[in-house]
Amino acid sequence: MRRTALILLACLLVALGCVERAPELSPADRERLREFVSTDPPSPQHELDVRFDNGLQLVGYDVSAETMRPGQTTTITWYWHPTQDLDDGWHLFTHVADSTGDSRFNQDGTGVVREIYQPGRWQPGQYIRDVQEVSLPADWNNNQAIFFLGLWNGPHRLAIRQGPHDDENRVRALEIPVAGGPSAAVAPREGSPGEPEVVRPPPTVRASHASGITIDGQANEPAWASARPTTAFVNTLTGGPAELQATARVLWDDQNLYVAWQIADTFVANDLEGRDSHLWEQDAFEIMVDPDGDSRNYFELQVSPTGDLFDTRYDTRRQPQPFGHMDWNPQVEAAAHVDGTVNDDGADEGWSGEIRIPFAQFGEGVSAPHATDLWRVNFYVMDKRADGPMRSAGWAPTMEGDFHVPVRFGRVVFDAPAPVAANDNAEPPPPGAAIRIDPRRAEALREQLQAGTIRAPSGLPVRAVPLPPGR
């Protein structure tokens, strides 16, 4: 018996080998992990055979009750089995949805394993007991709870090759009935009992028409100074305040979309080089653009503090895997400016950047917008810290552990170009001479008149007059 115990202890120490080598884990943390890591195959109550890329398996789960009740705690143990090394930076997520499939809340960081032993540290051959205590909110108003699991790394998810899953690379791991919940169709709003919940619309920013923009990362032209900033970036899971302080601004001209950003950061770092490096693993600013707002054929661009660029295109949400159409390499111009020194140990104040994206680069059928057009866009910041895990923030909260939620992107509304000032010194055209009118400026003027932002001279009717061909 003593010999068997020693062998088991030795195996466990081997299983925890990477933990022993991890300098940021204290002896107390390593001791906490002992009951959650083993080299012996488990016998879960409910077996699964879910297989991810990189040789990761979800082999089953235990659940402490066969029915959940709002306000009561249920313990769920997930059993994971890595067969290959995973890159550092992968994290587990748990989304809890109702019977409609809509995520209601997340449990991404719940449990000892989620806290100190994420998948990037797991060793091939281990079995990981991922224990989570889950409580449905008291206002849960559905007769079912569905648990979706998966792995995320920055804006990306680990692809699932086998097992029940959706098109967002989430394992549909557990469906459990809920008893005793309220029967109200809509949850009450906090602080206002009996009133229906108010769903906040995505944020909106207006893009002014501008010219003469130089891409140098500093956004110091007068047009940028007068451009309206976005609201402050938020926690993308909750919509609440974020630790990071960041804003963005948007301009446009007849050929290009311009985005500028400003980020407060005391440690600016990204040493990844070359087009399409995984910039999200360190400091980066990310832009997602869905020109027609249909959640299909949307675009992702990232810029690092050193001015390096990552870009890709997706047909639908996160498809194709793993990183979209990486052969989309638009002809864009980007630059960054650091208030400090990037990639050193000295204190910084932050960094800023600019990007020029020609509308033509968004593909066939996408042209420059007209005044008052609306595009769906979102902005995110990834931040590497000198001491601590990565953190992030975004402009429009997606309300789940994924940046790729096009239906929750923010809105950019394109303002009309300013009317051309009259030239009092210009010679009037001779009588009967043809006058050529720029149709885009004529359309912008008509829209401004209809919107009431400018007025026609008193007593003159405002109506659309068709232009002769070629004028």
Domains of the chain as residue ranges with CATH:
2-177 (2.70.50), 204-414 (2.60.40.1190), 435-471 (no CATH)
Asked if pLDDT for residue 439 goes beyond 90, the answer is: no
Predicted TM-score (pTM) of this structure: 0.56
The neighbour count for residue 295, using CB atoms within 10 Å, is 17
Dihedral-angle region of residue 363 (phi above 0 means left; psi in -120 to 50 means alpha; beta otherwise): left
From 254, 259, 304, 256, select the one nearest 279 (Cα to Cα).
304
* Contact status, residue 289 vs residue 362, Cβ threshold 8 Å: yes
411 pLDDT higher than 80: yes
CA separation for the pair 410, 414 (Å, rounded): 13
**Residue range 33-46: mean pLDDT, rounded:** 93
* pLDDT, tens only, 329-385: 999 999 999 999 999 989 999 999 999 999 999 998 888 998 889 999 999 999 999
Over 90: is that where the pLDDT of 14 sits? no
Three-state secondary-structure class, residue 17? helix
The region of weakest confidence among 59-63, 197-201, 274-278 is 197-201
Mean pLDDT of the chain: 83
Instruction: State both tokens at 291.
Output: 């020109």
Beta pairing, strands 284-290 & 298-303: antiparallel
pLDDT digits (tens, 9 = 90+) for 17-38: 433 334 467 888 889 899 999 9
Closest CA to 120 of 82, 157, 161: 82
pLDDT at 247: 96
CB 104 within 8 A of CB 68: no
Q: Please, which pLDDT band fits residue 424 given cuts at 50, 70 and 90?
A: low
Of residues 383, 384, 385, 406, the one with CA closest to residue 396: 406
Identify which of 142, 160, 89, 122 has the alpha carbon closest to the alpha carbon of residue 18: 122
pLDDT reading at 434 higher than 90: no
* 71 confidence band (pLDDT: 50, 70, 90): confident
Does 222 score more than 60 pLDDT?
Answer: yes
Residue 101 — very low, low, confident or very high, per pLDDT cuts 50/70/90?
confident
Return d(Cα 451, Cα 206) in angstroms, integer: 15
Chain segment 443-463, per-residue pLDDT in tens: 555 655 555 544 444 434 444
Mean pLDDT of 388-394: 91
Which residue reads 């009717």 in tokens?
Answer: 461
Q: Is residue 180 a contact partner of residue 142, using CB atoms and an 8 Å limit? A: no
Read off φ and ψ for residue 133, nearest 5 degrees: -100, 120
Q: Does the pLDDT value for residue 396 go beyond 80?
A: yes
Find out whether 378 and 395 touch, Cβ atoms under 8 Å.
Answer: yes
Peptide bond into 320 cis (omega under 30): yes
Residue 191's pLDDT is 37
Residue 57 has pLDDT above 70, yes or no: yes
pLDDT at residue 467 in the model? 38
